[in-house]
Amino acid sequence: MDKNSLGLSIGTTLDRFIKKMQDEHSYATGELSQLLRDIALAGKIINREVNKSGLLDIAGAYGSKNVQGEDQQKLDVIANIRFTRALKNGGMTCAIVSEEEQEIIHLNQNCRYVVCMDPLDGSSNIDVNVSIGTIFSIYRRISPIGGPVQDEDILQLGTDQIAAGYILYGSSTMLVYTTGHGVHSFTLEPSLGEFVLSDENLTCPKDGKIFSINEGYYYQFGEQIKEYLEECKAKEMSARYIGSLVADFHRNMLKGGIYLYPATEKSPNGKLRLLYECNSLAFIAEQAGGVATDGINRIMEIEPTSFHQRTPFVIGSKKMVDRVTKLSTMTDTVLG
């Protein structure tokens, strides 16, 4: 049986893996480990809801809009409630910022961790049984424990993340996370109800043959993006776009590729949110040897000024993302 560098076999449960990682770091208090377990539990609950969405009346639109003015799906709302409840009951989180809520969700003031999350990303794919995902970032609060959580606790740089990850509800359900010591993936074993280790220290190929972008917006893209797409086509690369960020990113990380959601004329700051979509995946990508930028600047060094701030997003294999940066620098257009 395969053994990884921690001496754990493929198939080791997430709980055991987290405990082993905790034991490797003498300063660890166990609180982050518990929080990761809380997130895994929430993921299992959402997985259950997603799996039965075709059987119950929980697919489709909820009839309301979220803070970005986008239509909420019923499962968006359910996932937000389930996640919030799991983190509240877990008792390790002082505050959450969620794609589905305008303001900070205040939990236990005596805790040190802040979670930024998109409880269910790609939710327009729910009704058609296509992969969707949960994305999360964990930060240590800056303000003193015991007092109310402040905006500064949330508006931290991506480089301040202490953990990040995603859960992909795909042909199987996977949890992928990093605490800054490599990227590890776990597959949900449905009959056991446990996430078990699939891969330790995942790496993203330095170059790839897949490009993922919504080309329907081609005429709204800046010149450097158009030029990059022409280069991809000239090289006969494969176009793959699910329209579910987690699934597109996961595939590209494993196989080598690039995902782009650049600025468009209609959305000059792009569509994706810095705090709970871009930073989280940027941390994973960098830990796997990949790169994430807004076209020029490193995503994890962008100063956040608001909870739901958007940014253009280019992420994936180093050589491919670097090429976009080079073209952007040449045309001197950061966000175009």
Which residues contribute to the site for ligand AHM (CB under 6 A)?
70, 99, 118, 121-123, 214, 243-245, 271
Taking the least distance from each CB to ligand AHM, the nearer of 112 and 271 is: 271
Q: What is the smallest separation between the CB atom of 11 and ligand AHM, expressed in angstroms?
A: 30
Q: Does 100 bind Mg ion (CB under 5 A)?
A: no
Tokens of 7: 């001496």
Q: Does 118 bind Mg ion (CB under 5 A)?
A: yes
Q: Does 121 bind Mg ion (CB under 5 A)?
A: yes
Q: What is the smallest separation between the CB atom of 99 and Mg ion, expressed in angstroms?
A: 5
Taking the least distance from each CB to ligand AHM, the nearer of 33 and 252 is: 252
Q: Are 4 and 201 in contact (CB under 8 A)?
A: yes
Residue 271 binds: one of Mg ion, ligand AHM, none (C-beta under 5 to 8 A by kind):
ligand AHM
Q: Does 38 bind Mg ion (CB under 5 A)?
A: no
Q: Which stretch binds Mg ion (CB under 5 A): 50-58, 120-128, 165-173, 293-301?
A: 120-128
Kindly report each contact of residues 105-110 with a partner whose C-beta sits within 8 Å and lies 24 or more positions away, as own/partner. 106/148, 106/149, 109/145, 109/146, 109/147, 109/148, 109/149, 110/145, 110/146
Tokens of 166: 């995603």
Residue closest to Mg ion when measured from CB atoms: 121
Residue 206, SS3?
Answer: coil
Give the H/E segment covering residue 106.
strand 105-106
Q: What is the smallest separation between the CB atom of 179 and ligand AHM, expressed in angstroms?
A: 24
Residue 243 binds: one of ligand AHM, Mg ion, none (C-beta under 5 to 8 A by kind):
ligand AHM
Q: What is the smallest separation between the CB atom of 72 and ligand AHM, expressed in angstroms?
A: 9
E strands along 131-193, which residues?
Answer: 132-140, 163-169, 173-178, 183-189
Q: How far apart are CA 175 and CA 238, in angstroms?
A: 26
Q: Which stretch binds Mg ion (CB under 5 A): 112-120, 156-164, 222-230, 295-303?
A: 112-120
Residues 6+ apart with CB under 8 A from 57: 74
Q: What angle do CA 231, 235, 236 make, to 5 degrees?
A: 115
Residue 150 binds: one of Mg ion, ligand AHM, none (C-beta under 5 to 8 A by kind):
none
Residue 2, SS3?
Answer: coil
Residues 6+ apart with CB under 8 A from 271: 261, 310
Q: What is the smallest separation between the CB atom of 277 and ligand AHM, expressed in angstroms?
A: 7
Residue 267 binds: one of ligand AHM, Mg ion, none (C-beta under 5 to 8 A by kind):
none
Q: What is the smallest separation between the CB atom of 160 and Mg ion, expressed in angstroms?
A: 21
Q: Please report, as ranges, the residues that interact with Mg ion according to CB under 5 A.
A: 118, 121
